[in-house]
Structure 1
Amino acid sequence: MNRAVRTGSIALTLASALTLTACGGSGGAGVAADAEQTLTVWAMGTEGEKLGDVAEEYEKAHANITVKVTPIGWDVAHQKLVAAAAAGKLPDVVQMGGSYLGEFADMGVLEPVDTGVFKEDDFFPAAWQQGSYDGKTYGVPWYVDTRVLFYRTDLAKKAGIEEAPATMAQLQGAAEAYQEKAGTKWGLSIQPGGLDTVQSFYQFLYSAGGAVLDDDGKAVVNSAAAVKALENYGSYFEKGLSEKSVRPGYDVTKDFNTGAVPMFFGGPWITNLLDENYPDLKGKWAVAPVPADKASVSMAGGSSLTVSADSDHKAAAKELVSYLTGAKGQVDWFERTNDLPANTAAWKTGDLATDPTLQIWRKQMDTARVIPSQPELTEITSKVDTAIESVTQGKSSAKEALDKAQSEIEGLVRQ
């Protein structure tokens, strides 16, 4: 998921949290799975647009079920979810991004996952953790997202780079070589500031052994490892290897195509964008794992599927979620969308099992990390965004910026 700006009012969120905690899960036994019924589903972005086709196929095999899918834009998703939760009108099944789940689970509007049906071991560890909050699981992993390194292989030859950088030191060396020997404008595209800068920083942070919150939800963003990671990140801007300005709506693939940017960290959807928009670039680029510091660790994103605590159709909703998150359904979804399967069994089939490039994504997901779910997760990560920008713009040292973020985040975490 690309996290959207939260547009719902804070007052409404707080009010819904207070009023809904007591009412979640009051739907009783509800309608039997084999009864004739309509399931309502909200899904976001591209997934919302594509899910309707899958729903039609599902209905053919389940004559008693009508699946009504409502696509929701990520830019308005949070606002609509908060309003629906406050009114007790969440749909039966909701796609839930990782930055939202803790908030809505804390409200009491999500049904805990039946771990007798959905098994943690069937999914990537980070994907399962993303659907969990306060010791319980509320979301079944639907698809996953992580970041790997995209790099221009043709320009690498000009720069004297024989293979993809495997360490963080080699990454900076490659960025310098691209500029000096291949004549690229920049060495590496990483985000200098603004919303979700933290998603660009995670690769440096996690690989250095740092984190924003530890596994217990305690703020640790000013650890020695995190400071080291931010110093490394900031050095790209200090040395002129990365662009300091923030361009609204910036599309890195355009500069990747022209050669102005020879390297960047990107998600799996970038592959399709490059193939479709820049076919002449085929054979001139490749992907590689995140260069290692202490280890090669990337962020984990994606979405889970959740069931409303007040749904009268929980049994049928659970069967639909089981279909969408099972290995067969995940392979079908990948073929339709190129979303990476969260269910590891899906990776034993077809291209997912044999394609060398896809195996890079698979390997990266094995060690990918997420921030433990928190009700105020968006506010927490925004503090890190601010800290990063203060360093990339030369306004403070990494330690000063992260000490400030640590103090602010400590007041937001729920333990």
Structure 2
Amino acid sequence: MNRTLRVWLIITSREHDVLKFLNKRFSQFEEQHNINIELKLITWNRAFETLIEAYKNNNSPDIIQIGTTWVRTLAYMGYIEKIPQDFETRTSFVENMNQICIYRGDQYAVPWNVDTIVLATRTDYLKTLGIKKRDLDSWEKFYQVCETITEKRRSDPDLPEALAFSLRAEADLLHRFAAILWSKGGEFADFYQIPEKILTEEKVMENISYLADLMQTSDIKASDLDKHPYQLNNEFYRQGSYVFYIGSWYGIIEDISHNSFESENGNYNYTILPFPSADGTKSQTYGGGSVLAVSSRSEHKQKAWKLIELFLQDDFINEWIRVTGKVPAFEVDFWQKRDVDQRINTMYQQSINSKTYPAHPAWATIEKILSTAVAHSIWELIDNNNTEINEETFKLLKKADQNIRDLLKLSWEMKNYE
């Protein structure tokens, strides 16, 4: 009998440190449970496709880390196993993450990591530029602040640029776009129907125009459009090139865990602000993360769930945060520090109030269509110094809508798959 437990985890950085940590923990597990562990690290960009290909080729892993929007799709296809009745999962403090793990009344995955789109900044820059937090509680005010920073840079080019915002045609761009759309009171169409308008819906197009305008106001040029998010991370956190950053909270967690960017006087400069809203009141941002599941084709289901139990233990999680910069979707020591660290408290509150995409069976493909169309429409406007949706941009958005409608018609028989 095959004595190997195959584990696929999604890692985006620090691969050497991750492997060192996991090999140590896995060796202990292997000895205790008389099994070998074969680890494969994959990236978000190809994770879903790689997993589906593995199932098609009868080469699927035993344990998989998956995105929250994939759970019900994989459960519907019969690719992942129900959680055993005696398995002690850890409930997430983010309710939509608990719900996303449920399919037709049964739980198929366990919450693991949580992530949201945040607005990060440096407190020393805010002080130098005379910016108050109340100046940033709505998107209209945020636009005005970025405009003022850009104007000041014309006479003082040594000042940092206003905004770091990745516009690559990837899923992360859609996360940022959706976060701003939702926080301004907008919504995507109901994908469980076959909507006439999706990206051509009025509020969605207004959001595209707003972002194209914000990018140009922040002096983001066509040459900046393909900057990788990690490059912007580095320029914001390590080079201090920008006042604001909209994206993942990875750098903030690294700062909390390692004091990586601590100022000379011992006070942290990098912080998170509450996400702006339409009118300065309660806001919502995008909330995602990942969960753990066991393949329905695993020959070692019992030991696979035992290994997942290890992944959920406090001592494992505390080290995992330090090594990867990923934080758990459930209560641990890290989140208990929210009473004394405003950054952690903001992260916690934003996670609780976050929204996520619909758990539609075709979401992986829908997400690609949306990401590409949003990116190309913003690129087109910036490249032509436009801020309003023109005929060319509208055609692009309308074509994406049609592609999604065609896809929804193909998956119509799965509309009641929940």
Question: AA paired with 2:350?
Answer: Q
Question: AA paired with 2:110?
Answer: V
C-alpha distance after superposition, 1:52-91 (max 9, x if no partner): 333345457xx23535141323155445423321132322
Q: Which runs of 5+ in 2 are unaligned?
A: none
Question: AA paired with 1:191?
Answer: S
Q: 2:115 maps to what in 1?
A: 145
TM-aligned CA distance change 1:335 to 1:258, over 3 Å: closer
Alpha-carbon distance, 1:264 to partner: 1.1
Alpha-carbon distance, 1:347 to partner: 5.5
C-alpha distance after superposition, 1:143-173 (max 9, x if no partner): 1111211113222223221226122122112
Report if the CA contact (8 A) 1:52-1:69 is conserved.
Answer: no
TM-aligned CA distance change 1:335 to 1:237, over 3 Å: closer
Secondary structure, counterpart of 1:393 in structure 2: helix
Aligned residues: CA RMSD: 3.6
Q: Is 1:92 equivalent to 2:87 in the alignment?
A: no
Report if the CA contact (8 A) 1:166-1:290 is conserved.
Answer: yes
TM-aligned CA distance change 1:352 to 1:162, over 3 Å: closer
Aligned positions of 1:243-254 closer than 5 A: 243-244=221-222, 245-249=224-228, 251-254=231-234
Is 219-228 or 163-172 further displaced after alignment? Answer: 219-228
Is 264-273 or 394-403 further displaced after alignment? Answer: 394-403
How many residue pairs end up in the alignment? 378
Q: 2:98 maps to what in 1?
A: 128
Q: Is 1:301 equivalent to 2:280 in the alignment?
A: no
Alpha-carbon distance, 1:392 to partner: 4.2
Residues in 1 aligned to 2:295 and 2:107: alpha-carbon distance in whole angstroms: 13
Q: 2:402 maps to what in 1?
A: 407
Residues in 1 aligned to 2:23 and 2:278: alpha-carbon distance in whole angstroms: 43
C-alpha distance after superposition, 1:271-293 (max 9, x if no partner): 36667775668743322121122
Report if the CA contact (8 A) 2:167-2:227 is conserved.
Answer: no
Report if the CA contact (8 A) 1:152-1:286 is conserved.
Answer: yes
Report if the CA contact (8 A) 1:193-1:392 is conserved.
Answer: no
TM-aligned CA distance change 1:326 to 1:210, over 3 Å: farther
Q: 2:351 maps to what in 1?
A: 365
Question: AA paired with 1:312?
Answer: E
Q: Is 1:177 equivalent to 2:148 in the alignment?
A: yes
TM-aligned CA distance change 1:224 to 1:390, over 3 Å: closer
Aligned positions of 1:2-401 closer than 5 A: 38-45=4-11, 46=13, 49=19, 50-58=21-29, 63-66=32-35, 68-74=37-43, 77-98=47-68, 100-114=70-84, 117=87, 121-132=91-102, 137-163=107-133, 165-181=136-152, 183=156, 184=159, 186-196=161-171, 197-212=173-188, 214=190, 216=192, 220-244=198-222, 245-249=224-228, 251-256=231-236, 257-271=238-252, 283-293=268-278, 295-325=282-312, 329-343=316-330, 345-346=331-332, 351=337, 354-388=340-374, 389-394=376-381, 397=389, 400=394
Is 173-182 or 147-156 further displaced after alignment? Answer: 173-182
TM-aligned CA distance change 1:407 to 1:243, over 3 Å: same
Q: 1:6 maps to what in 2?
A: none
Report if the CA contact (8 A) 1:347-1:353 is conserved.
Answer: no
Report if the CA contact (8 A) 1:328-1:346 is conserved.
Answer: no
Residues in 1 aligned to 2:194 and 2:339: alpha-carbon distance in whole angstroms: 38
Report if the CA contact (8 A) 2:30-2:37 is conserved.
Answer: no
Question: AA paired with 1:39?
Answer: L
Residues in 2 aligned to 1:102 and 1:207: alpha-carbon distance in whole angstroms: 26
C-alpha distance after superposition, 1:253-275 (max 9, x if no partner): 34325454211113232236667
Q: Equivalent pairs: percent with the same residue?
A: 21
Residues in 2 aligned to 1:397 and 1:120: alpha-carbon distance in whole angstroms: 46
TM-aligned CA distance change 1:57 to 1:134, over 3 Å: same
Secondary structure, counterpart of 1:90 in structure 2: coil
Report if the CA contact (8 A) 1:130-1:372 is conserved.
Answer: no
Alpha-carbon distance, 1:37 to partner: 6.1
Q: Which runs of 5+ in 1 are unaligned?
A: 1-30
